[in-house]
A and B are shown apart, each in its own frame.
Chain A
């Protein structure tokens, strides 16, 4: 690559960036990218209010934490009310299971001013106890890890990359404007490099900005000293890891959908296939898990999220565990995979014909 080709890459990036950032076609990418920020903001507004509400309730219905912990499955309704008093909220009803006798069901809610505890009774006996603990930084960072790995990486960045990268060539074939580039004295591989880099730049800016904003929104509900202590501990390191993983996800998925945009007329089909494969990754045997982008991205995540806690028990039983890849291996595999996909795209783009009528 010579200076002239570098200048051509910059010329492509200059033209493409404007199109990518301000195209109507990528509006939904912004929505997808920044939706979690609004969820964290909403949570940061809701959590302190909920805490204040529970504290106020605890004044009217005082219950000690120890007394609440004494209640377990099998406790009788009379014992509970004798020990804890009347709940601050109760619901009851009668349900008949199909072909069975009617069941008296009830739920009682108590609070010690910190946790919100719901006791579920069936025929006057506690069958389930649900503790909704106050939000702490470790708890919230685990929630962040779960959302990041199971929503942000698998869906938001994934579909964002479909929207940005699959359209780099295919979108211009549909617009009938690709010939603008193909009539310039530029090698096709240089055009590909320029387009990929512009897509990558746009995706990284959009998604890392969102990751950083999510982080800020997540911490917003906590007091200054708590946040400073968290950041000084693992906080900054975690944030940098998440930003790096976001950028790597954009590079990896971007390379996949750049190739898909050159290979398929309708990129939705390969996107659906890749999504299926990446989503099934949780349940695949360890050897197959390693043939995916998400496995290596998750291996790099600083906090291990437990997906089993957020899904039905039957489904959770199907999850297969695999030892995460080491940082070096994960980085090496992601970079190698990305380069292979770009090399394949370069072969395809050399064969690309500008024949709109057949598209």
Chain B
């Protein structure tokens, strides 16, 4: 762990008798990190802990070396878009962001410039002078995001930021997250939409019932799940030959020919060895048109780690 990370050291949080998160030890590096888990798994508690909105019952949280209770320092570096759609009454989108920026000590002119820039980044300029109360769900999401990014923070914490966004805005918002991450900032996102998590995350933290079940890059996580062999989909001109050659390997546990005869699905306990085998087969003359991991994604990892636990 270093001062440039967000760290949790044996952190627990209880709400009375109810467990929020338990014994969480984490270090979140820069880049896009997704918090994945069912409702009540502790995603929002983790976000609230790192922004000081709730305090840990036990353990220590540090954000870029700062304690979350040091709000006057912390929120110069952190922007948080919460899951709540409530705003101070009577403000337009522009006024909301402008008023927020006033607390940072910017001059009125700076507030105006920063607010306009943030609103433009979330493509809400045309609606900026409308009351936030009249905004749609998607517009509220975007104005919250504008508020979170307006002061140019190093850490962006975003609770379900893609909820209610239409596909175009969703793509633009994801691009904005990527841009922030590429600049070396932390972007921490919670989401229920697993294929989006897969699409945007540099790493994931999987939570279940208040515990961190897994953390890291998707591929690393997937390869650590030994009880579920990796599934690899191969498109080739001789799937039967490939299947028989594959079965000669002791790490291959299953090979299914696709019904359309254009390939096969192989389950292997050692993907790297299997990819090396494919190289040899290609050299032997089998025309391989495509190779893709079939379950090396958040969906599958989530299903293997949390889905099974939930069904126990």
Listed in ascending order, the chain A residues whose CB lies under 8 Å from chain B are 4, 7-8, 11, 14-15, 18-19, 22-23, 175-177, 179-188, 353-358
Chain A residues lying within 8 Å of B105, measured Cβ to Cβ, are 4, 7-8
A353 to B55, CA, bound (A): 7
Chain B residues lying within 8 Å of A4, measured Cβ to Cβ, are 105
Contact of A358 among B15, B99, B102, B103 (CB under 8 A): B15
Chain A residue with Cβ nearest B45: A355
The reply to whether A185 and B104 form a contact with Cβ atoms under 8 Å apart is yes
The reply to whether B72 and A187 form a contact with Cβ atoms under 8 Å apart is yes
Does B54 make an interface contact (CB < 8 A)? Answer: yes
CB distance from B238 to the nearest CB of A (A): 58
Contact of A355 among B53, B71, B74 (CB under 8 A): B53
CB distance from B43 to the nearest CB of A (A): 13
The reply to whether B54 and A354 form a contact with Cβ atoms under 8 Å apart is yes
21 contacts across the A-B interface (CB closer than 8 A): A4-B105, A7-B105, A11-B103, A23-B89, A175-B86, A176-B84, A176-B86, A179-B80, A180-B87, A181-B103, A183-B75, A184-B104, A185-B72, A185-B73, A185-B75, A186-B71, A186-B72, A188-B71, A354-B48, A354-B53, A355-B53
The reply to whether A355 and B72 form a contact with Cβ atoms under 8 Å apart is no
A177-B88, A184-B71 known; 17 other A-B pairs, CB under 8 Å? A15-B88, A15-B99, A19-B88, A19-B90, A175-B89, A177-B89, A180-B87, A180-B88, A181-B103, A183-B51, A183-B82, A185-B74, A185-B75, A185-B76, A185-B103, A186-B72, A357-B15
The reply to whether B103 and A8 form a contact with Cβ atoms under 8 Å apart is yes
A257 to B71, CA, bound (A): 26
Given the known inter-chain contacts A353-B53, A355-B48, please indicate yes or no for A179 contacting B71, CB distance below 8 A. Answer: no
The reply to whether B88 and A187 form a contact with Cβ atoms under 8 Å apart is no
Segment 65-83 of B: residues with Cβ below 8 Å from A? 71-76, 79-80, 82
Given the known inter-chain contacts A186-B71, A355-B15, A355-B54, please indicate yes or no for A18 contacting B102, CB distance below 8 A. Answer: no
B contact residues, total (Cβ < 8 Å)? 29
A7 to B106, CA, bound (A): 10
CB distance from B303 to the nearest CB of A (A): 28
A242 to B302, CA, bound (A): 69
A310 to B73, CA, bound (A): 59
Does B304 make an interface contact (CB < 8 A)? Answer: no
Does B100 make an interface contact (CB < 8 A)? Answer: yes
A310 to B88, CA, bound (A): 46
A179 to B105, CA, bound (A): 19
Chain A residue with Cβ nearest B105: A4
CB distance from B97 to the nearest CB of A (A): 11
A-B pair number, CB within 8 angstroms = 78
A36 to B146, CA, bound (A): 47
A11 to B136, CA, bound (A): 27
Chain B residues lying within 8 Å of A19, measured Cβ to Cβ, are 88-90
Segment 214-233 of B: residues with Cβ below 8 Å from A? none
A108 to B171, CA, bound (A): 90
Segment 239-282 of B: residues with Cβ below 8 Å from A? none
A8 to B72, CA, bound (A): 11
Chain B residues lying within 8 Å of A7, measured Cβ to Cβ, are 102, 105
The reply to whether A185 and B71 form a contact with Cβ atoms under 8 Å apart is yes
CB distance from B286 to the nearest CB of A (A): 57
A4 to B16, CA, bound (A): 37
A69 to B88, CA, bound (A): 66
Chain A residue with Cβ nearest B82: A179
A19 to B74, CA, bound (A): 27
Chain B residues lying within 8 Å of A353, measured Cβ to Cβ, are 53-55
Chain B residue with Cβ nearest A176: B86
The reply to whether B99 and A11 form a contact with Cβ atoms under 8 Å apart is yes
CB distance from A150 to the nearest CB of B (A): 36
Chain B residues lying within 8 Å of A184, measured Cβ to Cβ, are 71, 75, 100, 103-104
The reply to whether A356 and B72 form a contact with Cβ atoms under 8 Å apart is no
Most chain B CB within 10 A, of A7, A184, A187, A354, is at A184
Chain A residue with Cβ nearest B84: A176
CB distance from A297 to the nearest CB of B (A): 33
